[in-house]
C-alpha cells in the first residue's frame, strides 16, 4: 500500500513540476521583458519606462473601466444563456436535447473572425440584414440595432462564448444529487426556492469558475475590439496592446507585455477569490457515498416554454450567424440573399479548401497536436487540482494561481516568449509539433484546471477512502472510482482545449514551421489574402468535423460515467 502512496506522490510531483516549468519560464521572460528597453537577444538595459507609459496616465482608469464593463457584460450574457441551455439539457425532460446540445457547440468551433464579421453583416446600421428586415417590414425610420456600440460588442462576444458555461455547468448539473433537492422540497421549499437555496449554492464553484474564465477571456480577446470596437470608438485593453505594437518600429513587445500585467492581476485576484470561496470542499460535494441517482426534473407544461425559448436563443444567437457564413461559403462575394444568389452559387470554395495539400496537412497536425495537448492539459490540470483539493500542502493556492496565470496573457505575447525560449534552449523542439503542444498546454492548462477543479469538488473523498480501505490500490481507485465520477467535467475541459487548438490564432502563427502548420495558420492565411469565401467554407467544414467529435465525447462521457439508465 505504502508504495502506491509513494508512487502517487512522485507522479503528482512530476506533473506539478511540469506545470511549473511550462508556466514559469515564459511568464518569467515576459515579466523580465517589462523591465527592459529592448527585445530579447539585443543589448538592453533596465528601465521602468514601460510601466510609466502603460500605467502612468489617468486615461488608464477609463480603459480599465471599459474593459471590465465589456468583459463582465459579455460574461453575464454567456453565463445566463449558456447556463439556461445547460439546465434545459441536463436537468429537465425538455425534448430535442440532442439538437440543443449540438447547436450550442457551433459558436465555439467557428473561427472568431467569421462570427464577428457575420454579426456585422446582421446588425450593421447600414447593411445589417436584421435591421433591413425590420425596417422594411415595420416601416421604421432608422435601424433599431447598431452593432457599433458597447452593447453590440457585449452581445457578439457574449453569444459567441455560450459554449464554455454550457459545457461546464452541464457537467456539474449532471453530477448533482437530487437527494439534496428532495431534502429541500421536503422541508417545504417550492421549485424556485430549492433552486436558489440548494442548487445554486452547490453550483457556486462552477459558477465562479465559469465567470472567472469568461471574464479573463473577455479582457484578453482582440477580435471583437478590433472589428467592432474600433469603428465604435470603444477602447479596451486589447486596443492599447495593438497600439503598442503599431506605434513603434520595431513593435514594442515589452510594452505589450507590460499592459498584460493588468490582466494578470485581475486573473490572479479572481483565482484567489475563487479558491477562498471554495476552500471548504466538502460543502460542495454532491457525489457522496450515500447513493447517487442524477435525475431530471419533470417539467410538464413548462416544456412548452423551455423548448421554444431554448430554440429561440439558439436560432438568434447561433443559427443566424451560421447562415451568413454558409451563404458566404457558396458565393464569390457576400450578397444579400436574393434570387440572383442562385446563379452565383458555387461549391468551388469547398473544392479549393478540400484540395489544398496544406489544409490536409494542417488538419492532421491539428488533430494530433490538439488531442495530445488536450490530454496533457487535463492530466496536468487534474494533478494541480488534486494537490489543491485533496492535500493540505502549503503553497497549493499559489500553485493554482501560477498555473492559471498564462490564461491572462494575449497569445502574441506568450507566443513570442515561447518562441525565444525554445530558440535558445538547447532542446531541439523548435520547428516540431512538440513546441505547439507545449504552447497550447501552457496557455490552456488554466481552463482544464478550472474544469477539473469544479469536477473534483463535487466528489466527496469518502468514495475513494472506501475503495482504498476495501483493499484496492490507488491507481485502481483512481481509474475505477474517481475518473468515471469526474469524467463529465474533465471531458468538458478536454473537449474545450481541443477546440481551442483549432481556433487560437496568434499562438500557432509564430510557432508553426515547415510541415507543422495547424488549421488557424490556414484560416489566417485566407483572411489576410481576402479569400473570404474559402474562409467561410473552411468554417463550415470545421463545424461539421468538430460537432462529430463533440457528440462522440458526449456519448463517451455518458456511457462511461454513472447515471440513471
Partner 1 sequence: MVMEKFSAAVLAAIGLLLISVPVFAQGEDGLIAGAKKEGQLVWYTTTAQTDNKVLLDAFMKKYPFIRAQSIRAGGPELAEKFIFERRAGKYIADVIRVLDFDVERFKRENLVARYQSPSAEKFSPDMKDPEGYWTTDDYTIKVMGYNTKLLAAKDAPKSWSDLLEPKWQGKVVVEVLDYRLYAGWEQRLGVEKATKLAEGMARQKLILRRGASQIAELLAAGESPMAQAYVHHLEVLKAKGAPVDWIRTFDPLVALRGGLAISSNAPHTNAARLFVDFYLSKEGAQIIRTWGKVPGHPDVEPFHKALQTKELKIQFLEPKLTAQNYSHYAAMAKKTFYR
Q: Which listed residue (521, 546, 549, 550) binds partner 1 by CB under 8 A?
A: 521
Give the C-alpha separation, 214 to 198, whole Å.
Answer: 24
Q: Under the phi-then-psi rule, with left for phi > 0, alpha for psi from -120 to 50, and beta for the rest, what region is 291?
A: left
Residue pair 37/49 in contact (Cβ under 8 Å)? The answer is: yes
Alpha helices in 345-410 (DSSP H): 348-355, 357-390, 396-404
Is residue 245 part of the contact set for partner 1 (CB under 8 A)? yes
Give the distance, in angstroms, between the CA of residue 10 and the centroid of all CA atoms in the same chain: 31
Q: Which listed residue (5, 10, 247, 354) binds partner 1 by CB under 8 A?
A: 247
Alpha carbons within 13 angstroms on the beta-carbon side of residue 469 total 6
Kindly indicate which of the ranges 20-28, 117-125, 159-167, 491-499 contains the residues binding partner 1, using the contact rule CB under 8 A: 117-125
Is residue 213 part of the contact set for partner 1 (CB under 8 A)? no
Q: Which listed residue (45, 188, 514, 564) binds partner 1 by CB under 8 A?
A: 514
Tell me the per-residue interface mask from 470 to 509 with partner 1, x by CB under 8 A, - otherwise. ------------------------------------x--x
Give the C-alpha separation, 513 to 522, whole Å.
Answer: 12
Give the C-alpha separation, 284 to 481, whole Å.
Answer: 18
Q: Please state the three-class secondary structure of 284-299 as a single string.
A: HCCECCCCCCCCCECC
Q: Which listed residue (19, 104, 121, 451) binds partner 1 by CB under 8 A?
A: 121
Strands (E), 200-248: none
Please, what is the minimum distance in Å from the beta carbon of residue 419 to partner 1? Answer: 5
Is residue 246 part of the contact set for partner 1 (CB under 8 A)? yes
Tell me the per-residue interface mask from 65 to 104 with partner 1, x by CB under 8 A, - otherwise. ----------------------------------------
Q: Name every residue whose Cβ is closer than 8 Å to that of residue 439 and which is 6 or more positions away in sequence.
A: 414, 415, 418, 507, 508, 511
Class of residue 395 by CB neighbours under 10 A (exposed 0-12, middle 13-18, buried 19+):
exposed
Is residue 179 part of the contact set for partner 1 (CB under 8 A)? no
Give the nearer residue to partner 1 in terms of CB position, either 254 or 512. Answer: 512
| 3-class secondary structure, 77 | helix
- Site size toward partner 1, by CB under 8 A: 56
Q: Which listed residue (193, 308, 332, 552) binds partner 1 by CB under 8 A?
A: 332
Residue pair 131/125 in contact (Cβ under 8 Å)? The answer is: yes
Give the nearer residue to partner 1 in terms of CB position, either 375 or 506. Answer: 506
Is residue 512 part of the contact set for partner 1 (CB under 8 A)? yes
Q: Give the max Cα distance, the chain.
A: 78
Is residue 334 part of the contact set for partner 1 (CB under 8 A)? yes
Is residue 344 part of the contact set for partner 1 (CB under 8 A)? yes
Q: Name every residue whose Cβ is closer than 8 Å to that of residue 532 and which is 6 or more positions away in sequence.
A: 117, 328, 333, 334, 526
Give the nearer residue to partner 1 in terms of CB position, either 221 or 512. Answer: 512
Give the nearer residue to partner 1 in terms of CB position, either 332 or 475. Answer: 332
Is residue 558 part of the contact set for partner 1 (CB under 8 A)? no
Class of residue 265 by CB neighbours under 10 A (exposed 0-12, middle 13-18, buried 19+):
exposed
Q: How many CB atoms lie within 10 A of CB 229?
A: 25
Cis peptide before 250 (omega within 30 of 0): yes
Is residue 40 part of the contact set for partner 1 (CB under 8 A)? yes
Please, what is the minimum distance in Å from the beta carbon of residue 114 to partner 1? Answer: 11
Is residue 153 part of the contact set for partner 1 (CB under 8 A)? no
Give the C-alpha separation, 46 to 33, whole Å.
Answer: 9
Please, what is the minimum distance in Å from the beta carbon of residue 529 to partner 1? Answer: 4
Q: Which listed residue (524, 547, 551, 563) binds partner 1 by CB under 8 A?
A: 524
Is residue 532 part of the contact set for partner 1 (CB under 8 A)? yes
Is residue 351 part of the contact set for partner 1 (CB under 8 A)? no
Please, what is the minimum distance in Å from the beta carbon of residue 528 to partner 1? Answer: 6
Is residue 333 part of the contact set for partner 1 (CB under 8 A)? yes
Please, what is the minimum distance in Å from the beta carbon of residue 46 to partner 1? Answer: 20
Please, what is the minimum distance in Å from the beta carbon of residue 233 to partner 1? Answer: 5
Q: CA end-to-end span of the chain, whole Å?
A: 35
Bridge partners, 419 (sequence order): none
For binding to partner 1 (CB under 8 A), which residues are involved? 40-42, 117, 120-121, 124, 126-127, 226-227, 230-231, 233, 242-243, 245-251, 332-334, 344, 352, 356-358, 416, 419-420, 423-424, 430-431, 506, 509-510, 512-515, 521-522, 524-532
Amino acid at each position: 500500500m505504502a508504495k502506491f502512496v509513494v508512487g502517487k506522490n512522485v507522479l503528482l510531483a512530476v506533473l506539478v513540476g511540469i506545470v511549473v516549468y511550462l508556466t514559469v519560464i515564459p511568464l518569467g521572460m515576459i515579466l523580465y521583458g517589462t523591465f527592459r528597453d529592448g527585445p530579447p537577444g539585443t543589448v538592453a538595459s533596465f528601465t521602468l519606462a514601460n510601466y510609466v507609459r502603460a500605467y502612468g496616465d489617468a486615461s488608464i482608469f477609463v480603459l480599465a473601466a471599459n474593459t471590465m464593463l465589456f468583459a463582465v457584460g459579455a460574461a453575464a450574457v454567456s453565463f445566463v444563456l449558456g447556463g439556461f441551455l445547460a439546465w434545459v439539457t441536463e436537468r429537465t425532460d425538455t425534448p430535442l436535447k440532442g439538437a440543443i446540445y449540438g447547436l450550442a457547440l457551433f459558436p465555439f468551433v467557428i473561427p472568431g473572425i467569421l462570427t464577428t464579421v457575420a454579426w456585422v453583416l446582421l446588425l450593421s446600421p447600414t447593411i445589417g440584414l436584421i435591421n433591413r428586415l425590420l425596417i422594411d417590414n415595420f416601416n421604421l425610420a432608422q435601424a433599431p440595432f447598431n452593432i457599433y456600440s458597447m452593447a453590440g460588442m457585449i452581445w457578439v462576444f457574449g453569444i459567441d462564448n455560450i459554449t464554455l458555461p454550457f459545457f461546464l455547468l452541464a457537467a456539474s448539473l449532471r453530477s448533482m444529487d437530487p437527494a439534496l433537492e428532495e431534502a429541500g422540497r421536503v422541508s417545504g421549499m417550492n421549485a424556485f426556492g430549492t433552486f436558489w437555496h440548494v442548487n445554486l449554492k452547490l453550483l457556486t464553484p462552477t459558477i465562479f469558475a465559469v465567470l472567472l474564465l469568461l471574464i479573463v477571456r473577455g479582457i484578453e480577446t482582440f477580435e471583437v475590439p478590433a472589428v467592432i470596437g474600433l469603428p465604435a470608438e470603444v477602447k479596451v485593453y486589447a486596443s492599447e496592446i495593438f497600439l503598442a505594437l503599431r506605434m513603434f518600429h520595431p513593435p514594442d513587445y515589452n510594452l505589450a507585455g507590460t499592459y498584460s500585467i493588468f490582466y494578470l492581476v485581475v486573473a490572479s485576484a479572481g483565482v484567489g477569490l475563487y479558491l477562498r470561496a471554495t476552500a471548504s470542499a466538502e460543502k460542495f460535494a454532491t457525489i457522496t457515498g450515500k447513493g447517487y441517482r442524477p435525475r431530471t426534473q419533470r417539467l410538464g407544461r413548462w416544456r412548452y416554454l423551455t423548448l421554444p425559448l431554448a430554440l429561440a436563443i439558439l436560432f438568434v444567437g447561433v443559427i443566424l450567424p451560421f447562415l451568413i457564413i454558409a451563404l458566404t461559403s457558396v458565393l464569390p462575394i457576400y450578397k444579400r440573399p436574393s434570387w440572383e444568389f442562385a446563379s452565383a452559387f458555387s461549391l468551388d470554395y469547398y473544392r479549393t479548401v478540400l484540395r489544398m495539400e496544406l489544409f490536409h496537412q494542417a488538419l492532421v497536425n491539428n488533430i494530433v497536436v490538439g488531442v495530445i495537448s488536450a490530454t496533457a492539459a487535463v492530466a496536468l490540470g487534474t494533478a494541480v487540482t488534486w494537490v489543491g483539493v485533496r492535500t493540505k500542502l502549503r503553497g497549493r493556492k499559489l500553485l493554482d494561481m501560477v498555473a492559471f496565470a498564462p490564461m491572462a496573457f494575449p497569445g502574441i505575447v506568450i507566443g513570442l516568449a515561447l518562441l525565444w525560449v525554445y530558440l535558445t534552449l538547447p532542446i531541439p523542439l523548435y520547428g516540431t509539433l512538440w513546441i505547439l503542444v507545449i504552447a497550447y498546454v501552457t496557455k490552456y492548462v488554466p481552463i482544464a484546471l478550472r474544469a477539473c477543479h469544479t469536477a473534483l469538488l463535487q466528489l466527496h473523498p469518502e468514495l475513494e477512502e472506501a475503495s482504498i480501505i476495501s483493499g484496492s490500490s490507488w491507481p485502481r481507485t483512481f481509474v475505477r472510482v474517481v475518473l468515471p465520477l469526474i469524467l463529465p467535467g474533465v471531458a468538458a475541459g478536454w473537449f474545450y482545449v481541443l477546440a481551442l487548438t483549432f481556433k487560437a490564432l496568434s499562438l500557432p502563427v509564430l510557432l508553426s514551421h515547415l510541415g507543422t502548420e495547424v488549421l488557424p495558420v490556414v484560416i489566417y492565411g485566407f483572411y489576410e489574402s481576402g479569400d473570404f469565401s474559402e474562409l467561410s467554407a473552411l468554417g463550415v467544414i470545421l463545424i461539421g468535423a468538430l460537432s462529430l467529435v463533440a457528440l462522440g465525447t458526449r456519448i463517451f462521457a455518458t456511457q462511461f460515467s454513472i447515471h440513471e439508465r
